[in-house]
A and B are shown apart, each in its own frame.
Chain A
Amino acid sequence: MNAPVKTPEERQAELQGMGDARLRKEDARFIQGKGQYCDDIKLPGMLHMDIVRSPIAHGRIKNIKKEEALAIPGVHAVLTADDLKPLNLHWMPTLAGDVAAVLADEKVHFQMQEVAIVIADDRYIAADAVEAVEVEYEELPVVMDPYGALEDDAPVLREDLAGKDEGAHGPREHHNHIFTWEAGDKEAADDVFASAPVTVSQHMHYPRVHPCPLETCGCVASFDPIKGELTTWMTSQAPHVVRTVVSMLSGVPESKVRIISPDIGGGFGNKVGVYPGYVCAIVSSIVLGKPVKWSEDRIENISSTAFARDYHMDGHLAATEDGKILGLKVDVLADHGAFDACADPTKFPAGLFHICSGSYDISAAHCSVKGVYTNKAPGGVAYRCSFRVTEAVYLIERMVDVLAQKLDMDKADIRRKNLIRKDQFPYTSPFGFEYDSGDYHTALEKVLNAVDYKDLRAEQEEKRNDPNSPTLMGIGLVTFTEVVGAGPTKMCDILGVGMFDSCEIRIHPTGSAIARMGTISQGQGHQTTYAQIIASELGIPSEVIQVEEGDTSTAPYGLGTYGSRSTPVAGAAIAMAARKIHAKAKKIAAHLLEVSEADLDWEIDRFKVRGNEDQVKTMADIAFAAYQQPPEGLEPGLEAVHYYDPPNFTYPFGIYFCVVDIDKGTGESSIRRFYALDDCGTRINPMIIDGQIHGGLTEGFAVAMGQQMPFDEQGNLLGNTLMDYFLPTAVETPAWETDYTVTPSPHHPIGAKGVAESPHVGSIPTFTSAVVDAFAHLGVTHIDMPHTSYRIWKKLKEEGVQL
């Protein structure tokens, strides 16, 4: 009996292609405790590495005594910078063109810096040995304030750079200066400011924060001395680049280095860089000929691996009296810590900070970012954002609010007046970015209607006039644009490798498929969504498409997952690889159906002969034929590889709205409502998009309302456990409302723009906008983050707010 013929709708639904809220393929292993994270890996004979760290922020190492540690049974080695020197591995290059100490070489530059490593039979013995290593220090004066770092008589932090007046990004003006980077047209901006009727200025500090994924960093390095092969499982967001770096550092040919990023327990930018712990574990494995595991603890993670932000910003806007913005100027002092280890494309030492003209049509703009060394941990990574976009969006959104207050304009009105109009796209910003597409005004009105903006303003007015109101009410509004999908290789590279990404698809004879990718998921659900793209392109059900990534020995070279680049770059590579297969499949179908290719139409999962719709070949039929007897002139098999070099970045945008109620007595804030409209272009899986947005909003909430890395004058980090560092629980986390519009990217093969970082980037200034708005009637134009209850309470007292 023949199977019932399926309708096109049924066939479409079976594919679970783009647009389908398909449940996640990766979940089965995670919900049964069968994920495989780095620390789950156990190899025969594996040793454990632990790290001796500096208790002080700046000092000279006088002496390191290893004997007592080496005497502990089960300890195999204690290594210091002196042991790495003969291998020339005591320093390593950073992604930002600087060098960083692998193990402290004569000096320590920040608290918790790596000073020595111990290798032992198990992690307990290793911890004992760490305690037993005695290090004698001579303390040096500490530089914690980045402004103080540039004073003439400031202590010299980086003695290793003595005499180097030229850094990776131009001349160094001072012994603690790293670079000064500028974008835009200073003269044009100065001219506008000289004649503008209205100008406003605001200083703001974007605090140092840490991405703090739930899984810390770690690796298992396994060198096979007989084969000369090095395999390393590593918590890396960019395994291929790591392979290149490891090969360069170790001298092991890249063909004999295999980096595997297994399941990763969150990254958020923290797992982009190459840390001393990885290098030391690899060196230890090569030296000892045994597998070596390193698992960082939480205090080590927060204290020593890459932080984010720490930008001291001065923003200036020039405008007409009726609120049309004419010019923007920004000056930033960037605290990079002890080594310049920012993870940015090579040409951009301040990342894509020059997206700071935001969603607004501004004719003249200039920005300048100065990087300095201090006695803090190195880093400066993109914490769930694309290379300093979070700082840029915060700056411009704050400045637009400040201007609105100066002009006594409503914050929605000033945005209506200045947002780039739909008909202006593609729009070239004063910093030279070409925004691909957008419809900001439609999205703004959609949000304002959804939240009953006018009613909320009326309620706020009522509360402000009521001395008995127990709360201050604040309304936050942000209309942001991101720049993601780095990036075009003509502009973006990491260590000289262009920031393309890649996909290899193989269709098996029976019609199922495997795709291998240069990216690596850390929770984004690539195994689910990438398959959906292929399903829609090739008519193969998602369910039978396997997606693999993270193993450099099987996956094509790619630059990894960070900066919302997976969908914009790798997602495009998938579509392009699939289209190569589609083109070949069409030739095979024409051959099988004995017609010309021009007579074929594609429908969901099959080619049909035009005018004779019973004559069809499904992708499954074609796959088998490809391996059986391909038409003359075609190779057997059905597979393709594509390396995608994006022609431009993509520019997702969003309109975020927040209502906060602040207790006048305690300073406690309560997020009454948070409404997030995102436009990420074509939507691949709405369920996953919503999940990513919830997560990004929650991380934004954490940054705005509580995260900070405070130091005392001696350079001690005052909060480096999860007791002190704010990760919101379910109790503090607000309920999120999400919405969307769809404005596809015109240059992306499927029109997708990337989404996971927008909610982080967009929500942070929204919270600040709301908190400041609660005080706006008192003349307050800005309050620095984090908006903790204590800091808000102090502000209430400062402003004389009475209960």
Chain B
Amino acid sequence: MAKQIVKMTINGQQVEQLVDSRTLLVHFLREQMNLTGAHIGCETSQCGACTIDIDGESVKACTHLAVQCDGSDVKTVEGLAENGALHPVQEAFYEEHGLQCGYCTPGMLMRSYRFLQENPNPTEDEIRTGISGNLCRCTGYQNIIKAVQSAAVKLQDKETASA
């Protein structure tokens, strides 16, 4: 199988790796980079458990090739917390009981992280639509929505404080 060198930034770190051209991004991250936060739930882009952030967009890593990310800036759930401090979406999911088995959580967090940058002050309906590419079998979404609302407030407060 043809191998190729890819260079990308993952959670702020430059990496240069040799990958099979057919290697899916999610396998590259999980098995080659040991970043097992992104999970595999369907392999058909339906469930969103593998959602990560590439160049400022939410991407489902199960249907993306590692070689497509050459030169990209990739962020995974492992890169959400900075300097030992949880990101407001992580705090909010904890405080609002926005997770149970935890399997959808990394994807749900990464989607919420991006969604709140796209729409910093969303309505409930906008949140429901905004996270509809991510399935959760445990929570019924109710507390996830509360968590996203709470994270929106936290992020706005943070912004105000730093302004």
- Could you say which of A24, A34, A692, A730 has the most chain B C-beta atoms within 10 Å of its C-beta? A730
> B72 contacts which chain A residues (CB < 8 A)?
none
Looking at chain A's contact residues, the main secondary structure is: loop
Contact A27 B44, beta carbon cutoff 8 Å: no
Q: Would B132 and A691 count as touching, CB distance under 8 A?
A: no
Counting CB contacts under 8 A, is A524 at the interface?
yes
Q: Contacting chain A: which of B2-10, B100-108, B155-163? A: B100-108
1/0 contact string of A515-534 vs chain B (CB within 8 Å): 00000001111000000000
Q: Are A31 and B101 in contact (CB under 8 A)?
A: no
Query: Closest A-chain residue to B143, C-beta based?
Result: A691
Chain A residues within an 8 Å CB radius of B141: 694, 698, 729-730, 733
Q: Are B100 and A730 in contact (CB under 8 A)?
A: no
* Of B31, B100, B105, most A-chain CB atoms within 10 Å: B100
| A730/B102 in contact, CB under 8 A | no
Q: Is A563 an interface residue (CB 8 A)?
A: no
Q: Which of A24, A688, A731 contacts B132 (CB 8 A)?
A: A731
**Counting chain A CB atoms within 10 Å of each CB, which of B36, B102, B131 scores highest?**
B102
A722 at the interface (CB under 8 A from B): yes
Smallest CB-CB separation from A267: which chain B residue? B101
Say yes or no: A523-B138 contact (C-beta < 8 A), given A33-B37, A730-B144, A731-B128.
yes
Name the one of B78, B81, B100, B129 contacting A731, with C-beta atoms under 8 angstroms: B129
Q: How far is the CA of A729 from the CA of B129 in the complex (A)?
A: 9
Q: Determine how close the nearest CB of chain A comes to the CB of B41; give it in whole angstroms.
A: 5
Shortest CB-to-CB span from B2 to chain A, Å, is: 13
Q: Which residue on B lies nearest to A295, using beta carbons? A: B40
CB distance from B155 to the nearest CB of A (A): 16
8 A Cβ contacts from B86-143 to A: 86, 90, 93-95, 97, 99-106, 109, 127-129, 131-143
Query: Is B137 a contact of A266 with CB atoms below 8 Å?
Result: yes
Q: Hey, what's the 0/1 contact readout for A35-66 against B, CB within 8 Å counting as 1?
A: 11101101000000000000000000000000
Structural contact, B140 and A697, CB atoms closer than 8 A: yes
A722–B30 CA distance with the chains assembled, in angstroms: 22
Q: At the interface, yes or no: B77 with Cβ under 8 Å from chain A? A: yes
Kindly state whether residue A265 has any CB partner on chain B within 8 Å. Answer: yes
CB-CB under 8 A for A698 and B140, given A214-B101, A266-B103: yes
A37 to chain B: which residues have CB within 8 Å? 36, 39, 103
Q: Please tell me if A287 contacts chain B, counting CB pairs below 8 Å.
A: no
Residues of A within 8 A of B39 (CB): 37, 39, 214-215, 265
> Known contacts A33-B76, A215-B41; is A525 also within 8 Å of B100 by CB?
yes
Q: Is A208 an interface residue (CB 8 A)?
A: no
CA A731 to CA B81, docked complex, whole Å: 28
Contact of A722 among B27, B31, B44, B129 (CB under 8 A): B44
Choose one: B36, B42, B99; the contact of A31 (CB below 8 Å): B99
A493 interface residue per 8 A CB criterion: no
B23:A735 contact, CB within 8 angstroms: no
B41 contact set on A, CB distance < 8 A: 214-216, 265, 298, 722
The interface residues of chain B lying within 8 Å CB-to-CB of A295 are 40
Pick the contact of A736: B22, B105, B140 (CB < 8 A).
B140
Total number of residue pairs linking A and B with CB closer than 8 Å? 176
Does B80 lie at the interface of the complex (its beta carbon under 8 Å from any beta carbon of A)? yes
Asked whether B31 lies within 8 Å of A24 as measured between CB atoms, the reply is no
Q: Which of A42, A263, A525, A722 contacts B42 (CB 8 A)?
A: A722
Rounded to whole Å, the gap between the CB of A697 and the closest CB of chain B is 6
Asked if B145 is at the interface of the complex by the 8 Å CB criterion, the answer is yes
Q: Is B20 an interface residue (CB 8 A)?
A: yes
Interface of B is mostly: loop
Residues of chain B with a CB closer than 8 A to A214's CB = 39, 41, 47, 49, 101, 103-104, 135-137
A696 CB to nearest B CB, Å: 8
Given contacts A214-B136, A215-B41, A730-B145, contact A31 B46 (CB under 8 A): no
Taking CB atoms, residues of chain B closer than 8 Å to A699 are 137
Taking CB atoms, residues of chain A closer than 8 Å to B127 are: 730
* Cα-based distance from A215 to B138 in the complex (angstroms): 12
A306 in contact (CB, < 8 A) = no
Q: How far is the CA of A123 from the CA of B90 in the complex (A)?
A: 32
B73 at the interface (CB under 8 A from A): no
B101, chain A: closest CB distance, angstroms: 3
Closest to A42 in B: B31
Residues 522-555 of A contacting B (Cβ, < 8 Å):
522-525
Question: Looking at the complex, which one of A31, A42, A525 makes contact with B94 (CB distance below 8 Å)?
Answer: A31
> Measured between alpha carbons, how far is A298 from B38 in the docked complex, in Å?
16
**B73, chain A: closest CB distance, angstroms:** 18
- Across the interface, name the chain B residue whose C-beta is closest to A40: B36
A26 touching B102 in the complex, CB below 8 Å, given contacts A124-B23, A722-B44, A723-B44:
yes
> Are the CB atoms of A32 and B78 closer together than 8 Å?
yes
Query: Would you call A730 and B90 a contact (CB within 8 A)?
Result: no
Contact B27 A123 (CB under 8 A): yes
Which residues from A are CB-within-8-Å of B40?
39, 295
Q: Chain A 340-379 against B: per-residue CB contact (8 Å), 1 yes, 0 no?
A: 0000000000000000000000000000000000000000
Q: Which residue of A lies closest to B90 (CB)?
A: A31
* Contact, CB under 8 Å: B139 / A27: no
Across the interface, which residues of A come within 8 angstroms of B136, CB to CB? Answer: 214
Does chain B have a CB within 8 A of A332?
Answer: no
B101: contacting residue among A23, A123, A213, A730, CB under 8 A: A213
A206 at the interface (CB under 8 A from B): no
Q: How far is the CB of B62 from chain A (nearest CB, A)?
A: 10
Q: Is B153 an interface residue (CB 8 A)?
A: no
> Which A residues are in CB contact (< 8 Å) with B70?
none
Closest to A724 in B: B46
How far is A608 from B139 in the complex, measured between Cα atoms in Å?
43
Judge whether A727 is part of the interface by a CB distance below 8 angstroms: yes
Nearest residue (CB) in B for A39 is B40
Whether the pair B132, A729 counts as a contact (CB closer than 8 A) is yes
Q: How far is the CA of A214 from the CA of B47 in the complex (A)?
A: 8
A115-128 vs B, Cβ < 8 Å mask (1 yes, 0 no): 00000000110000
Q: Give every chain B residue within 8 A of A727 (Cβ-Cβ).
A: 46-47, 135, 137
A26-B102, A213-B101 known; A694 and B142 CB under 8 Å? yes
Q: Does B43 lie at the interface of the complex (its beta carbon under 8 Å from any beta carbon of A)?
A: yes
List chain A residues, Cβ under 8 A from B131: 729-730
Tell me whether B54 is interfacial, beta carbon within 8 Å. no
- In contact, A32 and B139 (Cβ under 8 angstroms): no
The reply to whether B36 and A735 form a contact with Cβ atoms under 8 Å apart is no
**Cβ–Cβ contact B101 & A694, under 8 A:** no
A31 touches B105 (CB 8 A): yes
Cβ < 8 Å to A, chain B residues 21-74: 22-23, 27, 30-31, 34-44, 46-47, 49
Residues of B within 8 A of A (CB): 1, 20, 22-23, 27, 30-31, 34-44, 46-47, 49, 76-78, 80-81, 86, 90, 93-95, 97, 99-106, 109, 127-129, 131-145
Contacts A268-B137, A298-B41, A727-B46 supplied; 7 other A-B pairs, CB < 8 Å: A23-B94, A23-B97, A32-B80, A298-B47, A698-B141, A721-B44, A731-B129
Can you sample 10 A-B contacts with CB below 8 Å? A27-B93, A33-B76, A265-B102, A691-B143, A694-B141, A695-B140, A723-B44, A727-B47, A729-B134, A731-B129
Which 4 pairs across A and B sit closest by C-beta, in order of nearness?
Answer: A33-B37, A265-B103, A523-B101, A30-B102
